[in-house]
Structure 1
Amino acid sequence: MGKTEKETKESGGVLTALKKSLSRNKLGELLVIHGIITSEELLTALHQQKKNNRPLGQILIENKLISKYQLAAVLGRQYVIRTLAAGVFFMASMGASMGKSARADMIKDVPAQISLTSTANSAFGKMNSYPALFDTAEKRSGSLKAFTKWTGMFDRFERELRKSENQDIVREWQNDLAGFQGLELKKMASKVNSLMNEKQYIVDSKNWGQSDYWATPIEFMKRGGDCEDFAIAKYTALRSLGVPEERMRIAIVHDKQKNIPHAILIVYTDEGPYILDNQNKNLVSGSGVGRYRPIFSINRTAWWLHQAPTTTIVASAQ
């Protein structure tokens, strides 16, 4: 089955944004665009690079024009842009010839399997509109197959729920959440944020021997996790409490204070979007946070690429 007109338009919007980013993601140009160095400083450094045949980043550091942390941040951004683009471009090129459409609705609603209430008849109605995160321009796509860490987590989670050895953890999970039933969404989200933030924070390299691993909620309950594992557990908890899928997104952001990528959960309440963050014990309004710059956000039905409305530069990650 081919793509619908809507799907083609959505995919085209994301691909166009990525192409614009890829055309302007050279190290020197990114440094100039972000105001880290001037055009004149870049030209001088490029002249030195041509003369000495040394890496541009090394020359800029030696000339005290940038720090090692600034260089790492820009190089990391280059990498994640190219990584995401490669996955998206591949899926787009395959979409026309695939017998099945790469639709997000192929992902099972696994959290509903441990639901404490009917997820089909949720007390939380649909919202008329969803404000763009942090006032960014959003490009939506319904194809999630490029996000293998996300889709793979759901597959593993469903298998784990079938195992008898995990039933005690499932019952503990349900008992912990039972008291939150019937609360209005903002208060429910605050309770879930506090509950999950009690778990141990541990980096993936120590926990799993991998640089980036998206743990299932059961794995998280057993072993703790890092930022995206906290966000996934909170998402699953709220979904099992009947919060509609469209009211939640996991957002991968750039933490401008720490200059690192970070993951949070966004919940769209009737009072606006709120952030559930393992770095903050309190619920924070999504309209008043200057610390984070969104890269992409995702749920079980779609993903969104975030772009500053006044620039063509796109920050993205996979």
Structure 2
Amino acid sequence: MNKSGLFKYFRDALKRRRVGELLVAKGLITPQDLRNALRTHQETRAPLGQIFVEQAAISKTQLRLILLKQTALHTCMALLLCMASLSGGAKKSRADMIKDVPAQISLVSASSEFKRVASYPAFYGTQEKRSSNLSAFTKWTSMFDRFDQQLKQSASSRIVREWQENLRGIEGQSLKAMADRVNDLVNEKRYIVDSKNWGQSDYWATPVEFLQRGGDCEDFAIMKYAALRSLGVPEERLRVAIVQDTQKNIPHAVLVVYTEAGAYLLDNQIKRLISAEKGSRYRPIYSINRQAWWLHSAPTKTIIASAE
């Protein structure tokens, strides 16, 4: 199996390795037990694993073993990403090879009003390892290729123009204010899982496809990224981040925005902007934009942001 195949294997395995689904598969709980626990989770927001233990469905030891397996999968995927970054060779896909498609739908002439950020807050205090080799991220790079082709089609251009009308009047505000408004607008769109929407488990939709059909968490994050880019926000202020939702024990995607007031997450699960500098719900795995990707590891001391 090649590296892209291994990457897909671990990514798909992570999607399948939800605590409830694992327990059902092992025969430790019934599907009805899982549905009851999910209802309790919606009411109390308690982690599913904690609910199963409190209901005596599983022991603390069984829960610990399942969580260890999840951690091992995340570690394997992180190692694979590092290997791909270090050995791209002739097939290397670098940031300067990815066309700046969002710039084609910009509502402003330039992003010069934004000062260059001298340092960035650590995402949830994690350590970050940066690489400009994007060869492992074919879902991300191919999304830009499709987006570029779609903008040449009259039907897609009409969809984009209609969306731009929704954004007019937002440009020129503070970055935090623009991010807040974009988060509200995009979160009004339809949520639908990829298996139902596209017939596959992990499809990264273009903004045009999202506006037509809705999407799941990474599609919401990509749409917010494209919207803020069209409002003149520079690339280095934005990252799509893949995280582990520790409450639901599933992978999730959000957009990180680095504003003058700090770093914030734009999340389709949460209506308001939340801090990207401190919190316990999400565990960052990696983040990405057109310039690079960042591997996140164990928390360290938070770096204070400053601007020149």
Q: Computing the radius of gyration over CA atoms, which structure comes out larger, 1 or 2?
A: 1
Q: CA deviation at 1:78?
A: 3.2
> 211, 225, 229: which is aligned to 1:239?
229
Q: Does 1:110 align with 2:104?
A: no
Q: Aligned equivalents of 1:86 and 1:101: distance in 2?
A: 15
TM-score, normalised relative to structure 1: 0.72
> Which of structure 1's runs of 4+ aligned residues deviate more than 6 A?
none
Match of residue 281 from structure 1: 271
Equivalent position amino acid for 2:170 in 1: F
Q: Aligned equivalents of 1:180 and 1:309: distance in 2?
A: 35
Q: Aligned equivalents of 2:230 and 2:223: distance in 1?
A: 10
Q: Does 1:298 align with 2:292?
A: no
Query: Structure 1 residues 136, 204: CA separation in 2 closer, same or farther (over 3 Å shift)?
Result: same
Report matched runs for 1:122-133 at 5 Å: 122-133=112-123
Match of residue 25 from structure 1: none
| Structure 1 unaligned spans of 5+ | 1-61, 311-318
- What percent of counterpart residues are identical? 60
TM-score, normalised relative to structure 2: 0.74
Q: Does 1:227 align with 2:217?
A: yes
Match of residue 86 from structure 1: 80
Match of residue 255 from structure 1: 245
Q: Aligned equivalents of 1:170 and 1:222: distance in 2?
A: 10
Query: Structure 1 residues 289, 309: CA separation in 2 closer, same or farther (over 3 Å shift)?
Result: closer
Report matched runs for 1:176-191 at 5 Å: 176-191=166-181
Q: Aligned equivalents of 1:197 and 1:73: distance in 2?
A: 30
Q: Aligned equivalents of 2:279 and 2:85: distance in 1?
A: 33
Q: Aligned equivalents of 1:307 and 1:207: distance in 2?
A: 33
Say whether the 8 Å CA contact 1:88–1:146 is kept in structure 2.
no
| Structure 2 unaligned spans of 5+ | 1-56, 301-308
C-alpha distance after superposition, 1:35-69 (max 9, x if no partner): xxxxxxxxxxxxxxxxxxxxxxxxxxx9945446x
Say whether the 8 Å CA contact 2:237–2:259 is kept in structure 1.
yes
Q: CA deviation at 1:289?
A: 2.3
Aligned residue pairs: how many?
Answer: 245
Q: CA deviation at 1:174?
A: 0.9
Query: Structure 1 residues 63, 115: CA separation in 2 closer, same or farther (over 3 Å shift)?
Result: closer
Q: CA deviation at 1:181?
A: 1.0
Say whether the 8 Å CA contact 2:129–2:294 is kept in structure 1.
yes
Match of residue 197 from structure 1: 187
Q: CA deviation at 1:107?
A: 0.6
